Structure 1
C-alpha cells in the first residue's frame, strides 16, 4: 500500500497530541477487488508523558466523508488543510463537501453502496439515505465525484431519488442527469418537522476495516450492504 496525504489536521493539549489524516491509496488501482474505497481516514493520538499512542482508521470513498469520520473523533471540521493537488472545481463542489464533512458527526446519512473507479476520469459514487432530506419523498441521495485530469480539479454533485433501487439504476449511466429534489408545499411542511428532530451521533454505517467484500463479477456495482 502506497499512501499520499490528501487532508491533515494536528492538535495539541499539553503532552497529548492528536493528528488526523485522510490518505489516498495510490496503489488501489492494482487491488484484486475493483471498486473499493481509495481513501483511508486515520486518527493518531499520542501521549508523550506516558510514552504511548493509539491509532484507528476506516476506509471512505470521498475525502470529505473521511474528514467527517474524523470530526466525530475530535477533529475540527473547519481546520483541515488539504494537501493533495486536486482541488474543488466550483462552489457547488465545496458546498457538498462541507455538507459531508459536517454530517460525519451528526449521523445524517446512512450509506448503502459506493464504488471508486481506478481508470480515468476516476469517478466515485456513493448512495446514501438522508435522514434530514428536504424532500421526504426523495430521501435517497447519490453523491457523484468526477476528476478533471487536465486541470487537477474534481466536481462533486448530488442527486435525489425515491429509493435505493432507483439510485442504483442511475449508476449504470454516470453521464445521465442527477435528479434534483422536487418539493411540494406538503413536503416542505414534512421536511420542517423532520429537520427539528435530533440525529444520532456518527455515520449510520460503520465503515469496515478492512474494506468491504468484492462486488459480483460483471455488473460493475458493489453488493448491497
Structure 2
C-alpha cells in the first residue's frame, strides 16, 4: 500500500550530507502518506506524516511513522531534508508543528483510516500534538501482531509527582477504531514493569479530573471540526491525506 509522493527535488541538490542521507533512507521504504501540508508561494516547505512499511521487515519494535520536513532554497537550487521516526502519528505531528507546520494543516480525521474510539483518545492525541517540547522521548515499541499496539515512554517536564508517562495506542480491527491512553509513573523502572506485566489498568495521571476532561473535550470537538475542513490546494501536486490513527495493513505490518 503506497502513495505517490513527489517532493519535486529533481532540479535541486541536497544542502548537506545529512539531507542527502535522510532523503535516501526515506525513499528506500514503502511509503503511505497519512497527512501532508505544502506551503505557498512556490512550495518552499513541505511537511509530511507517512507510514514506512519497510520498517516492519527490520528489527522488531522499531517506530514506523515518519515525520518529514523539506525546505527548498530555490535561489541556491538546494533542499534540506529532515526526517524523524515515531511510534504514533500524534508524536510525529508534534515534531512537525515544532518545526513550523500549522497544527490544523497536519491534523485530520476522516477517510479510510481507523478512527478515534472515544473523546479521551481525542483528548490525549490533541495533548501530544500541541505539547511543544513538554515531553522528552525515552523509548518506544511497536507491535505488528497480537497485541496490535504502539507505546511511547516519555518524561513530562510539567509533572512533579509522576513525571514518567506511557502513551499507549491500541487498534481494534473489528470496530475499525483505536484508543490512546496516558499512564503516569514515578520512575522509568516502574513504567517498564507495568508495560511488561500489564498487572492492572494503566494508572491515570493525577491531573486528570472531570472538570479538566470536560474542558479539554470541548476543545477537542472544536479542533476536530477545524481539522476536517477543506485544505486549500497549493503549488505542489495534491495527494490524498487520510487522518491520524491506525490503518489496517497486511499481516507483515502493524496497523497504523
Question: Which structure 1 segments of 5+ residues have no match?
Answer: 184-225
SS in 2 for 1:27: helix
Q: 1:29 to 1:154 in 2, by over 3 A?
A: same
Cα pair 2:67 2:85 within 8 Å, conserved: yes
Check if 1:85 corresponds to 2:116. Answer: no
Question: Which structure 2 segments of 5+ residues have no match?
Answer: 1-28, 208-256
Check if 1:17 corresponds to 2:44. Answer: yes
SS in 2 for 1:94: helix
- Superposed displacement of residue 38, structure 1: 0.7
Correspondence for 1:55 among 81, 96, 118 = 81
Structure 2 counterparts to residues 25-64 of structure 1, below 5 A = 25-31=52-58, 33-48=59-74, 50-64=76-90
In 1: Cα distance, 2:42 partner to 2:56 partner: 39
Q: 1:173 to 1:84 in 2, by over 3 A?
A: farther
SS in 1 for 2:196: coil
Correspondence for 2:185 among 143, 157, 161 = 161
- Superposed displacement of residue 56, structure 1: 0.9
Quick check: 57-66 or 169-178, which moved more?
169-178
- Superposed displacement of residue 50, structure 1: 4.7
Q: Give the length in aligned residue pairs.
A: 177
Greater share of strand residues, 1 or 2? 1
Check if 1:108 corresponds to 2:123. Answer: no
In 2: Cα distance, 1:182 partner to 1:47 partner: 47
C-alpha RMSD of the superposition: 2.0
CA offsets per residue over residues 23-50 of structure 1, 9 Å max, x none?
112233221x111101110012234455
Give the corresponding residue for 1:97: 125
Cα pair 1:6 1:84 within 8 Å, conserved: no
TM-score computed with the length of structure 2 as normaliser? 0.64
- Superposed displacement of residue 120, structure 1: 3.6
In 1: Cα distance, 2:161 partner to 2:87 partner: 26
Give the corresponding residue for 1:207: none
- Superposed displacement of residue 17, structure 1: 2.4
Compare relative contact order (CA 8 Å, sep 6+) and give the higher one, 1 or 2.
2
Q: 1:36 to 1:161 in 2, by over 3 A?
A: same
- Superposed displacement of residue 81, structure 1: 4.8
